[in-house]
Amino acid sequence: MLVAAPALALTPGAQPPPKYKVMAREILAQLVGIDSTHAHGSLGAARAIEARVLAAGFARQDVQVLAPPDHPTKGNVVIRLHGRGLAKPLLFIGHLDVVEVDPKAWHTDPFTLVEKDGYFYGRGTEDMKGDDAVLLTALIRLKQEGFVPDRDIIMAFTADEEAGGDANGVEFLFAQHHDLVASGMVLNVDDSGGRIRDGKRVYIGVETSEKLYATYEFSTADRGGHSSLPRPDNAIYELTAALQKLAAFQFPARTTATTRAYFAALSKLRAGQERTDLLAVARMVPDEAAAARLSRDPEWNALLRTTCVATMIDGGQGESALPNRAHAVIQCRLLPGETPEQTFATLTHVVGDPGVKIITDGPIDPSPETPPTPAILARYTNAADRVWPGSVVIPEMAAGASDSVYARLAGEPSYLSSTIFIEDSRAHARDERVLTQAFDEAGEYGYQMVKVMSRK
Ligand SMILES: [Zn+2]
């Protein structure tokens, strides 16, 4: 239930100079005002950004708007700020598309930025036009200040990260225009980032790995017959027996470089048994009892193990017919380092019935982990400390997938961290919003972060 409550008053952090605070808000309002859902595409938003950076003094050849010829509305814009060439370029990525809205469910117009009760409301404020506005304003500010980075800074604002995905901009740019986006490191500002809990900034998450998305299908078949003459063999019973075995099964707890660092860092912010348990799983071989206690929380469970869950089921062909077939979709999220073949073998073993046919639903790309190096975490901390002194930065693994997968597949390390502190996530939901204070301060943090990260 949505309850009208006054906005949080966080302890104040540093803000950008007034000119750039206003600019970031104007860009956010402009981007929210452009409907970039899958049906409309992101070309309009890409063109708006192109016009802004050209007006801000970027050379024509350093600003490219690109779309796949067969998806002309799925526009991307790539901007380059030239540096001294002391290191490979630094690439920032942010998507311009937003998920669909149900306007009747909203209390404001989703495609108009509305400031109310200390929040900015509008589709994309959190996911992720807020971060796009922060990055773009930082780039324009650096240009206008005459800042020359150690290495080129490239920003790519891209298409089709959300629902649809037939013209993903990051995938398209890496495949078709790699010269424009080739870099030594990719920083994605979609998701992860600052968390607010009990009215306080707790930590800034930096995602260095993500679970692998893999879908399997279970199916059973039977000769059927009339429902007046049932037999023990039954395609629906055979399938549901397999699903019951899956329901009772739990993949073993396992850790990665990222999750060990995450649990160790998080333990310092917690107390009592929870703290002890977090420390006990922050090891190469996690403590089983501690893992079992922590796994009662679905989010920690997802970090501790591969998961597979039934999400769809259908079967039978008529009310009075014994079923000829039954079928279920099993959605799995694999820990980095685990292969779809291993998961297939595990599922086959768990089901233990050759009558249940198990298949993989399409090819699955691996998503290699980017190591959470102390040097990179120190850079995030350094930038954050300039805005919120005493900031805590923690590496994270995402249970879902992001555009960082394309960078990691191309062999480029990728870190993912939003610039905006989030209190209660409403990404993809109605009445999506961000705290105005968090957005304004993100303007300063984004600027500092781009600067710090661009050092060789
Ligand atoms: Zn997003």
Tens of pLDDT, residue by residue over 93-125, are 999 999 999 999 999 999 999 999 999 999 999
Residue 22 CA to ligand 1 centre (angstroms): 24
Domain 18-209+367-453 has CATH 3.90.1580.10: no
Mean pLDDT of the chain: 94
Tens-place pLDDT, residues 59-74:
999 999 999 999 999 9
Q: Give the separation between CA 213 and CA 405, rounded to whole angstroms.
A: 11
Residue 275 CA to ligand 1 centre (angstroms): 31
Residue 36 CA to ligand 1 centre (angstroms): 13
Average pLDDT over residues 362-380: 86
Residue indicated by tokens 């905006």: 420
- Residues 67/130, Cβ–Cβ less than 8 Å: no
Label residues 387-396 b or e (16+ Cβ within 10 Å = b): bbeebbbbbb
Q: At what angle do helices 374-385 and 436-453 cross, to 10 degrees?
A: 130
Residue 133 CA to ligand 1 centre (angstroms): 14
List the domain boundaries for the chain: 18-209+367-453, 212-360
Residue 205 CA to ligand 1 centre (angstroms): 15
- Residues 173/158, Cβ–Cβ less than 8 Å: yes
Could you tell me which of 315, 316, 310, 304 has the C-alpha nearest to residue 399? Answer: 304
Q: Residue 5: its pLDDT value, please?
A: 56
18 pLDDT tier (thresholds 50, 70, 90): very high
Q: 379: which 2 tokens?
A: 């850079």
Please say if the pLDDT value at position 6 is more than 60.
no
Q: Residue 365: its pLDDT value, please?
A: 74
Give me the amino acid identity at 285: V
115 strand-pairing partners: 120
Residue 436 CA to ligand 1 centre (angstroms): 19
Phi, psi of 50 (to 5 degrees): -55, -50
Could you tell me which of 6, 26, 30 has the C-alpha nearest to residue 16? Answer: 26
Q: Residue 1: its pLDDT value, please?
A: 45
Q: Give the separation between CA 324 and CA 306, rounded to whole angstroms.
A: 32
Distances (CA, A) of 52 to 55, 95, 451: 5, 17, 21
- Own/partner contacts of 295-301, CB < 8 Å, gap of 24 or more, are 295/250, 295/253, 299/399
Residue 77 CA to ligand 1 centre (angstroms): 17
Other Cβ atoms less than 10 A from the Cβ of 262: the count is: 27
Residue 360 CA to ligand 1 centre (angstroms): 27
Q: Which residues surround ligand 1, an ion (CB under 5 A)?
A: 127-128, 190
Residue 324 CA to ligand 1 centre (angstroms): 42
Residue 241 CA to ligand 1 centre (angstroms): 38
| CATH code for the structural domain at 212-360 | 3.30.70.360
Tens-place pLDDT, residues 406-453:
888 888 999 999 999 999 888 888 999 999 999 999 999 999 999 999
Q: Which helix (H) or strand (E) holds 309?
A: strand 307-315
Q: What whole-number percentage of the chain has pLDDT above 90?
A: 87
pTM: 0.87
Residue 401 CA to ligand 1 centre (angstroms): 10
Q: Residue 152: its pLDDT value, please?
A: 98
Residue 37 CA to ligand 1 centre (angstroms): 12
Tens-place pLDDT, residues 203-223:
999 999 989 889 999 999 999
Residue 160 CA to ligand 1 centre (angstroms): 10
Q: What whole-number percentage of the chain has pLDDT above 70?
A: 98
Residue 127 CA to ligand 1 centre (angstroms): 5
